[in-house]
Amino acid sequence: MSKQINVALIGNPNTGKTSVFNQLTGLNQKVGNYPGITVEKKEGICKLPRGVKAHILDLPGTYSLNTTSLDESVAVELLLNKNDKDHPDVAIVVSDVENLKRNLLLFTQIKDLKIPTILVINMADRMSRKGITIDIELLEKKLNSKIALVSTRKETGIERLRELIADYKNLSKTQNVDTSVIAPEYFASLKEAFPKEDVYKLWLVITQDVNFMPLEKTLIKDTSSFTTKSKSELKRLQQKETILRYQFINGILKETYKVDANAAKGFRATLDKVLTHKVFGYVIFFLILLTIFQAIYGWSEYPMDLIDGFFASATEWVKDTLPPGVFTNLIAEGILAGIGGIVIFIPQIAFLFLFIALLEETGYMSRVVFLMDRIMRPFGLSGKSVVPLISGTACAIPAVMATRTIENWKERLITILVTPFTTCSARLPVYLIIIALVIPEGSFLGLSYKALTLMSLYLMGFGAAILSAVILNKILKIKSKSFFVVEMPNYKLPLLKNVGYTVLEKTKSFVFGAGKIILAISIILWFLGSNGFSDEFKNAETIVTNRVQENGFSASSEIYFETHQNGTTADEGSGALARKELEDRALAQEIAGYKLEHSYMGYMGKAIEPIVRPLGYDWKIGIAVLTSFAAREVFVGTLATIYSVGNDEEETIKNRMAAEVNTRTNKPLFNLASGVSLLLFYAFAMQCMSTLAVVKKETNSWKWPAGQLVFMSLFAYIVALIAYQLLK
């Protein structure tokens, strides 16, 4: 069997490079990261004629080989480094038929590296509508290269591309442009100093903005026979190079590329006028946002309920089927609960990315960036921060992932750091139950106090995000150029296949990336909650059973009976049986509660009680707050376990919480002061290990998630403390 052909797919953003990749590889692709950095690495296998296979690497989109970001330098490094295992045997430059001139700039640069290069002219289906004609044969001759005219929408031209790849050995390797004419002496001295290397390659290494390939950099600095130029001199030369290339391209296109001006324009201009209008632009954006919210809250509720139900019954099944013991408990309460905690987020993440992908594919996203940039700038954010901040109201995890489009590292970092302040959907169950408990009935201007409270919590989340962005903007000393050049691509109908791939890929990346950490921590939490060293823990069954026999059921169990008997008394005959069953369940719940109290987790809760007491909480709430660091929505479930009521019975939990008395003040534990304090704590604290895991992944350092954890939690503590002490 012959060796696989290494193919690198490269091209400007918005040329449909990903569609070409999808067409070549089908579902035969995998997404990972380049070692050590968070740049996405997409690769796949493509079957070629005559049984040959090609390994296709989809390089990050770039406008040229003059890199300004980490993503782009990955592409350049691969093209320059012959020793890299992925170094391409053949490069495919994907271009868009309407922007061929600009796309050819990158093409001529790659060609000049003497790598066999195929030009793909994509979106051929738009040619007739736009009045474009191309003399392909002449263009092939002028560029000394093979061209495939492709339409990924109509699925044409891909076969020819496969043929060309298989036949890569016959492609020409001649250069198109002689760069040395921009500074003949300088290039001559380069050639003299490094006779073995190609001068164009050396030139590229010297002019990179992003430091990469440390070896080659030092190699060039260490010579005495030629002096490097200053940064601005190099910049000027790069400008000259760009002009030189455009001269070459313009000359060629004059003979081969014709566009009938009358056929163009129209649609785009009209749509732009409406979508970036100073009033309608914002109204339309707002309506789109509403739809997205509705999808994330409303539509994902059904699949989420199904998932929840599935994991609940799976847990039951495991407990019933496997022999009781530590191992069964680990599977049922540690592993299954952990996996359930990951899977439950999939519908929301999928919906969010579905919308983001749709907005990006159509070209609308650039218009949002355009509309919002000036508004976001005073806060150290960019127009591109809008999408992550809005996504954060569903879930911070995909939101942090969505910051990848921000090229300016400082703006991106600030966006990542402040996004978790926005009110994510996991906070909602906590808010709802506490608001129902402590906020009084009544209304103001026709809006109930409860609704107003919920709304102010959302506003406070946004406020905290914006405020901390301002602070971070002041204190973060990161040198980064104000760099804002956003291409406004033409409007397109989205290709459903591409949208589908994006949703699949992002969801997978969440499940396998952050998922591992969520699973690990939930197993640790399970261990801490179900193990203990004291005699009380070990003899929980006997102690609680004896207590119940002597003193009767606890107050909480009595409430449990009351709420449940109302339902069963209607059926007189089975009343006694029902009572027996209820008592068994109440006993089991009391044992579970007693065990938790004396587990490691229980001792931890008691240990932190002095810390949380000034906020108006007791050790039980302390435990719930601690376990909430796994995921906020765990709060309700943990309290249910501690108060020994069934997990799924929200009304009972609420009644039970209302009955809880603070032993120190003899007032209800959940009153206005402690309730508001809890709400504020949950609004601001960084209680989500999944988000921390994703931030670690995106910033490639534990420094930033650790900072988030400390700063946000401290801030939450102080705000909650002030609120409780004032309202007490």
Partner 1 sequence: METTVADLKRGQKGIIKEFTEDLLPIKLLELGCLPGNEVELVQVAPLKDPIYINVNGSHIAIRREMALHIALDIIEDNAVV
**Residues of this chain that bind partner 1 (CB under 8 A):** 63-64, 66, 68, 98-99, 101-102, 105, 231-232, 235-236, 238-239, 242-243, 246, 269, 272-273, 276, 278, 281-282, 366, 369-371, 373-375, 383, 481-490
105 touches 249 (CB < 8 A): yes
Q: How far is the CB of 441 from partner 1 (least distance, A)?
A: 42
Q: How far is the CB of 488 from partner 1 (least distance, A)?
A: 4
d(CA 26, CA 11): 19
Q: Which amino acid is at 610?
A: P
The phi and psi torsions of 146 (rounded to 5 degrees) equal -95, 145
The phi and psi torsions of 280 (rounded to 5 degrees) equal -60, -35
Indicate the residue among 98 and 360 with the shorter CB distance to partner 1. Answer: 98
Indicate the residue among 100 and 686 with the shorter CB distance to partner 1. Answer: 100
Report which of 181, 177, 17, 5 is spatially closest to residue 93, judged by C-alpha positions.
17
d(CA 199, CA 332): 64
473 touches 379 (CB < 8 A): yes
Neighbours of 525 (CB within 10 A): 23
d(CA 391, CA 396): 7
Indicate the residue among 22 and 66 with the shorter CB distance to partner 1. Answer: 66
Indicate the residue among 246 and 458 with the shorter CB distance to partner 1. Answer: 246
Q: Residue 441: helix, strand or coil by DSSP?
A: coil
Taking each helix axis from N to C end, the angle separating 575-597 and 634-642, rounded to the nearest 10 degrees, works out to 110
Indicate the residue among 17 and 146 with the shorter CB distance to partner 1. Answer: 17
Q: How far is the CB of 383 from partner 1 (least distance, A)?
A: 8
d(CA 468, CA 380): 10
Q: How far is the CB of 243 from partner 1 (least distance, A)?
A: 6
H helix or E strand, kind and range, residue 244: helix 231-256
Q: How far is the CB of 492 from partner 1 (least distance, A)?
A: 13
Query: What is the DSSP pairing of strand 5-11 with strand 90-96?
Result: parallel
Indicate the residue among 105 and 166 with the shorter CB distance to partner 1. Answer: 105
Indicate the residue among 471 and 486 with the shorter CB distance to partner 1. Answer: 486
Q: How far is the CB of 293 from partner 1 (least distance, A)?
A: 23
Q: What is the dihedral of CA 538, 544, 550, 556, to 10 degrees?
A: 160
Tokens of 71: 């993503």
Q: How far is the CB of 147 from partner 1 (least distance, A)?
A: 20
Residue in this structure with the two tokens 């059921």, named with its chain if needed: 553
Neighbours of 617 (CB within 10 A): 26
Question: What distances in angstroms separate CA 215 from CA 205, 341, 467, 530, 657, one per listed residue?
Answer: 11, 45, 43, 53, 64
Q: How far is the CB of 485 from partner 1 (least distance, A)?
A: 5
Sign of the four-CA dihedral 646, 652, 658, 663:
negative
529 touches 601 (CB < 8 A): yes
d(CA 536, CA 612): 25
Report which of 207, 210, 214, 237 is spatially closest to residue 81, judged by C-alpha positions.
214
Q: How far is the CB of 480 from partner 1 (least distance, A)?
A: 12
d(CA 156, CA 56): 19
Indicate the residue among 285 and 526 with the shorter CB distance to partner 1. Answer: 285
Q: How far is the CB of 374 from partner 1 (least distance, A)?
A: 4
> For the chain, what is the radius of gyration of the CA atoms?
31
Residues sharing a CB contact under 8 Å with residue 354, sequence separation 6 or more, in sequence order: 295, 499, 503
Q: How far is the CB of 149 from partner 1 (least distance, A)?
A: 19
Indicate the residue among 242 and 362 with the shorter CB distance to partner 1. Answer: 242
Indicate the residue among 98 and 216 with the shorter CB distance to partner 1. Answer: 98
704 touches 695 (CB < 8 A): yes
d(CA 122, CA 120): 6
Indicate the residue among 208 and 403 with the shorter CB distance to partner 1. Answer: 208
Residue in this structure with the two tokens 């005073």, named with its chain if needed: 378
Q: What is the DSSP letter of 323?
A: P
Neighbours of 54 (CB within 10 A): 23
Neighbours of 549 (CB within 10 A): 8
Buried b (16+ CB within 10 A) or exposed e, 718-728: ebbbebbeeee
Q: How far is the CB of 237 from partner 1 (least distance, A)?
A: 11
Indicate the residue among 130 and 613 with the shorter CB distance to partner 1. Answer: 130
Q: How far is the CB of 231 from partner 1 (least distance, A)?
A: 8
Q: How far is the CB of 175 from partner 1 (least distance, A)?
A: 19
Q: How far is the CB of 209 from partner 1 (least distance, A)?
A: 8
Indicate the residue among 377 and 547 with the shorter CB distance to partner 1. Answer: 377
- Segments of 48-184 assigned E as strands: 53-58, 90-96, 117-122, 132-134, 146-149
Question: What distances in angstroms separate CA 56 from CA 12, 14, 62, 114, one per listed residue?
Answer: 17, 19, 17, 19
Q: Residue 210: helix, strand or coil by DSSP?
A: coil
670 touches 434 (CB < 8 A): yes
Tokens of 665: 């003040």
Q: How far is the CB of 296 from partner 1 (least distance, A)?
A: 27
Indicate the residue among 276 and 419 with the shorter CB distance to partner 1. Answer: 276
Q: How far is the CB of 424 from partner 1 (least distance, A)?
A: 29
Indicate the residue among 19 and 62 with the shorter CB distance to partner 1. Answer: 62
Q: How far is the CB of 338 from partner 1 (least distance, A)?
A: 44
Tokens of 220: 């060039």
Indicate the residue among 97 and 395 with the shorter CB distance to partner 1. Answer: 97
d(CA 236, CA 182): 10
Indicate the residue among 14 and 423 with the shorter CB distance to partner 1. Answer: 14
Indicate the residue among 101 and 728 with the shorter CB distance to partner 1. Answer: 101
